[in-house]
Amino acid sequence: MLLLTPEHFKEYELLDCGNFQKLERFGNFITSRPEPQAVWQKSWSESEWKSKAHAIFEQSGSHKGEWLTKPEMPDHWKINYNHAGLNISLKLALTQFKHLGIFPEQAANWDYIYESVKGLKNPMPKVLNLFAYTGGATLAAKAAGADVVHVDSIKQVVNWAHENMDLSKLSDVRWTVEDAGKYVQREVRRLKKYQGILLDPPAYGLGTKGERWKLEDMIDEMLGDCKKILDPEDHFFILNTYSLGFSSLIIENLLNHHFPKANHLNYGELYLKASSGTKLPLGVFGRFRS
């Protein structure tokens, strides 16, 4: 089992975490927002948190809230990720759902995606990004030369991903606003094949027509469908889950069942290490490549 954390994300830093919150630096700006995994005490004092934060998220309901900001804090800004030939730019914004448009722990997978696309035999590999959000993984695959299909059921985040593509000076991603499960089922019927599949489902979600997604009820079927469209000889595959009830052993069992011949299979936890020394777990993953 692996423990993975981004090692080359110079414009991001987890400063401290605890008391169900995290303090982060994105470029030149520092935010404080909720984090359900941070069940321990903060290492830094409350006064340090308040003095450093340019924006503090105050939760007002089960999912929504508002940002309390200092005058110098913009509504949106951008940061860059540069490592080993991968150069992408990402727009960040203060949303009412506490999210900023990026999951920085995924940078550990962006490197893997970029390397995997470069290592494929197909000179123009097709990559499918499901539950693709604002497209960090999409951009990593595209920057490496893949023909990328980006699927998410929320039009606003697909538009956001399109902005990220433009900021990164990339082009020709194929955008699809659709329920991920239905899209994969249609590709199965069409006998399509992809050399790369990225699967990053939420614990709960809704499709474009109100289709309900619940991770533990639907992930097994989704993996079965993904197997049918993954190139059996020339491929890579990543599964991420962010759910308090999922362990990396569940991911291992699922992938071993559906892909018993997978080479170079590894699985484990993604985490961020704070400047204060604390390690914040942020989901589990499994991945393999031919």
39-94 pLDDT, tens per residue? 999 999 999 999 999 999 998 877 789 999 999 999 999 999 999 999 999 999 99
Give the C-alpha separation, 201 to 215, whole Å: 7
8 A C-beta contact, residue 194 and residue 229: yes
Taking alpha carbons only, the member of 171, 115, 179 closest to residue 147 is 171
8 A C-beta contact, residue 9 and residue 81: yes
Give the C-alpha separation, 157 to 172, whole Å: 17
Give the C-alpha separation, 108 to 197, whole Å: 16
CATH number of 101-289: 3.40.50.150
Q: Is 198 exposed, middle or buried (0-12, 13-18, 19+ CB in 10 A)?
A: buried
Q: Where are the domains of the chain?
A: 2-76, 101-289
Taking alpha carbons only, the member of 6, 15, 8, 10 closest to residue 274 is 15
> What percent of the chain clears pLDDT 90, i.e. is strictly above it?
90
8 A C-beta contact, residue 26 and residue 39: no
- Element holding 39 (H helix, E strand): none
Tokens of 258: 């559906």
Structure-token match 């097994």, residue found: 220
Mean pLDDT computed over every residue of the chain: 95
pLDDT reported for residue 205: 81
Tokens of 137: 């993984």
- Segment among 12-21, 199-208, 251-260 with least mean pLDDT: 199-208
Taking alpha carbons only, the member of 31, 28, 25 closest to residue 12 is 25
pLDDT reported for residue 228: 98
282 phi and psi angles, rounded to 5 deg? -140, 45
Q: Give the pTM.
A: 0.95
Using CA atoms of 4, 158, 189, 236 in order, give the dihedral in degrees to the nearest 10. -20
**Paired strand residues for 240:** 285
* pLDDT-derived band at 111, boundaries 50, 70, 90: very high
CATH number assigned to the domain with residue range 2-76, chosen from the 4 options 2.60.40.1180, 3.60.10.10, 2.60.40.1120, 3.40.50.300:
2.60.40.1180
**Paired strand residues for 269:** 3, 284
Q: What tens digit of pLDDT does each residue of 177-215 get?
A: 999 999 999 999 999 999 999 999 988 787 777 778 788
| CB atoms inside a 10 Å sphere around CB 33 | 20
Sequence-separated (6 or more) residues with CB below 8 Å from residue 190? none
